Amino acid sequence: MPFGAHMSIAGGIAKAFARGQQVGCEAIQIFTKNERQWAAKPLHSEDVAAFRAEQTRTGIGPVVAHASYLLNLAAPADELWQKSSAAFAHELERCATLGIPFLVMHPGAHTGSGEGAGLTREATALNQLFAEGVGGDTVVLLETTAGQGTCLGHRFEHLARLFELVPYPQRLGVCVDTCHLFAAGYDIRTAATYTATFAELDRLVGLAQVRCFHLNDSQKELGSRVDRHSHIGQGCIGVEAFRLLVNDPRFAAIPMLIETPKGEAMVEDLANLTLLRSLVQAPTRA
């Protein structure tokens, strides 16, 4: 089970690997550009070469990219929708250039048009990009969300509908964020509720679609629909849910990445990853 964390690309995209190595990451998540800006600095050949060399040197993988928070492929307003589609296409191409297999995205917000309309709008954008082959084989991972405001993705039914509307199964997957899941109302704190939640995800979407986890505790209570991450075991979810998750054989090969608060020295990342690894139980011998 590859554990890792989201790493900064400050000073150059290749520098994320050394930062990940510093805290013992086996996998990492990055932004391929400044996530708070629409424009992106071009990737030069030396940037790509350095990125690949550092990945080879550290052995860290897979690398997962996260799309900009500015994007809204569910927007009813044409200008924002078109701008978001173009920017997302650019991010997909950056992933393909760097050899990054997964790009995580929030499913967007309908901003008043309604859930059905928002999901259709999202699917239209994805279908256009996939039909044009944008991003090559890069897989888009729809992230479960907390459900703040008019954000989509906080119900498994939303994800299921997108899979119905986007007939490119090889280009689409799911990223499960534990904080978002909990804030959206899905309880995973006990063996019974954990089993029920993932049985529902399996029924509606299929567990084979889950390609990545974001492991974050929650500052807010179950069903709050507020996205506030906390350190593992220090929030309202608690340690037991993470014990169940890291020992679930169905997810043994899936990258589990923390997005918990951190300082410049990243000692918090080291503590969270150490705790998660300590929860993994040795397999029982027959």
DSSP H helical segments within 99-233, as ranges? 115-131, 156-165, 178-183, 191-204
Which of the residues 6, 161, 229, 243 is marked catalytic?
Answer: 229
Amino acid at 170: Q
Q: Does the active-site annotation cover 229?
A: yes
Which of the residues 26, 54, 217, 259 is marked catalytic?
Answer: 259
Q: Does the active-site annotation cover 66?
A: yes
Q: Does the active-site annotation cover 214?
A: yes
Tell me the C-alpha distance between 172 and 159, whole Å: 10
| Dihedral of alpha carbons 154, 160, 161, 163, sign | positive
Tell me the C-alpha distance between 214 and 209, whole Å: 15
Which of the residues 6, 19, 26, 66 is marked catalytic?
Answer: 66
Q: Does the active-site annotation cover 177?
A: yes
3-state percent helix, strand, coil for the chain, nearest multiple of 5: 40, 15, 45
Tell me the C-alpha distance between 165 and 152, whole Å: 15
Tell me the C-alpha distance between 220 and 191, whole Å: 21
Q: Does the active-site annotation cover 259?
A: yes
247 three-state secondary structure:
coil
Which of the residues 26, 91, 122, 143 is marked catalytic?
Answer: 143
Which of the residues 94, 106, 154, 155 is marked catalytic?
Answer: 106
Which of the residues 154, 180, 231, 243 is marked catalytic?
Answer: 180
Which of the residues 6, 214, 231, 243 is marked catalytic?
Answer: 214
Which of the residues 36, 44, 79, 132 is marked catalytic?
Answer: 36
Which of the residues 46, 52, 57, 69 is marked catalytic?
Answer: 69
Which of the residues 6, 227, 231, 243 is marked catalytic?
Answer: 227
Catalytic residues: 36, 66, 69, 106, 143, 177, 180, 214, 227, 229, 259
